Amino acid sequence: MEDIYPKAIELLDEGRFIVLATIISLAGSGPRGVGTKFVILEDGSHQGTIGGGLLEAQVLKGAQKVFAERKPARMGFNLSGKDVAKTDMLCGGDLEVFLEPLFPERIEQRQVFERVVGIQKRGGSGIMVTLVDVARWEEGEVHRLFLDSNGERIGAISGLEAIENRIKNEMATLLGSRHPALISHQDQRGEVWEVFAEPIVSEPKLYVFGGGHVSSQIVPLAKRVGFKVAVIDDRPEFADPKKFPEASEVYQYPFEGVMERLPLNEGSYVVIVTRGHIHDKTVLSQSLKTNAKYIGMIGSRRKIAMVYEKLKEEGFGQKDMDRVHAPIGLDIGAETPEEIAVSIVAELISVRAGEGIGLK
């Protein structure tokens, strides 16, 4: 789904009128989850999918009415009944799709999508809120809002300041769940408004330096809890993608100058578990020159002290050392590679959550 927002921006920049189709509710099972999107063009072509088959064909047909009337629509489907009786999509759920017209002249839409793309690339989080109440949708009004977790606000939903405040108050819960949801709000006149709130949370990038036994345990576990993992080793037999099927990238790079090859940013996590303190120190000294969110290095306290002493000789100070999680991982008495991996990934989770319980 990450490709949908850049594609929408691209099409809007070209002056194209498009429809954004989003699954906004699902009871039971369906071909795709809530929040899945695809972009539809006036000629019927599209980018992305919400599951294919008759379901998608009917949504594409419904989009033509949205193009003609320049108004949104909501389409409901029963995936166990007549809607899919002649297809193989017997998922057994009830699903609703919101079809939203996006106009190239509405710059607020583009700005919200740009912020989402920025989070996906560089880290961060926030809530994208879309008015899905078709009866209250007026052309020319603003119907989309993005509330950044750092307090930034982009766009607006006219007349819904109260629900904006409600979402701000519930932001931590919504971001923690990572699940999009329909939210109903009753205003002072007793009228009910409905919006679709989507947590936008970047998939943090974890760089694991070293392809040994501990790394082979860290990678699948980190992937399972939501990290996008890259493995780096200077030996071909250890920098083998077959050894790390859960990693998104595996690189065979010399450790000297390795950071010049990798796009680390403020959302990156660095785990240093190479085969010796010389290589650990080489990677660590480069890591400290980045703005990585987390830097952790394996090793005994004696080895860590030796590495720190060498770094101080090179001009690094105590403030630099304080950035490093070493010995790496939460103190759970881990001994085996599997246990060490659990302690490291647990620390990564704590830092990602902002708890800081892994700080030494």
Residue 353 CA neighbour count, 13 Å, CB half: 15
Residue 327 preceded by cis peptide, ω within 30 = yes
pLDDT band at 85 (very low <50, low <70, confident <90, very high): very low
pLDDT digits (tens, 9 = 90+) for 236-290: 999 999 999 999 999 999 999 999 999 888 889 999 999 999 999 999 999 999 9
pLDDT score for 136: 84
pLDDT score for 355: 53
**How many whole angstroms from its chain centre is CA 277?**
34
pLDDT score for 87: 45
State how far the Cα of 272 lies from the Cα of 209, in Å rounded to an integer. Answer: 5
Q: Which of 183-192, 215-224, 225-234, 317-326 has the lowest mean pLDDT?
A: 183-192
CA 303 → CA 174, 239, 322, 330, 334, distances in Å? 42, 25, 16, 18, 18
pLDDT score for 31: 72
Token pair 């400290």 is found at: 288
What average pLDDT does the structure give for the chain?
Answer: 89
pLDDT digits (tens, 9 = 90+) for 109-118: 889 999 998 8
- Strand ranges across the sheet with 18-27: 46-48, 37-40, 18-27, 94-102, 73-78
Please give the residue that has the higher pLDDT: either 301 or 91: 301
Give the chain's domains with CATH numbers. Answer: 4-102 (no CATH), 107-201 (no CATH), 205-352 (3.40.50.720)
Q: Average pLDDT for residues 143-150, to the nearest whole number? A: 89
pLDDT band at 217 (very low <50, low <70, confident <90, very high): very high
Q: Average pLDDT for residues 211-229, to the nearest whole number? A: 94
pLDDT score for 107: 85
- pTM score, two decimals? 0.64
Residue 230 CA neighbour count, 13 Å, CB half: 19
pLDDT digits (tens, 9 = 90+) for 11-38: 999 999 999 999 999 987 677 789 999 9
Q: Average pLDDT for residues 283-299, to the nearest whole number? A: 96
Q: Which two tokens stand for residue 215?
A: 């790394």
Q: Which residues contact 156 (CB under 8 A, 6 or more apart)?
A: 108, 142, 145, 164
Per residue, what are the HEC states of 100-145? EEECCCCHHHHHHHHHHHHHHHHCCEEEEEEECCHHHCCCCCCEEE
Q: Which of 93-107, 112-126, 322-336 has the lowest mean pLDDT?
A: 112-126
Quick check: 155 pLDDT over 90?
no
Quick check: 359 pLDDT over 50?
no
State how far the Cα of 295 lies from the Cα of 311, in Å rounded to an integer. Answer: 15
The answer to whether 149 and 138 have CB atoms below 8 angstroms apart is: no
Q: Say which DSSP state 267 is in.
A: T
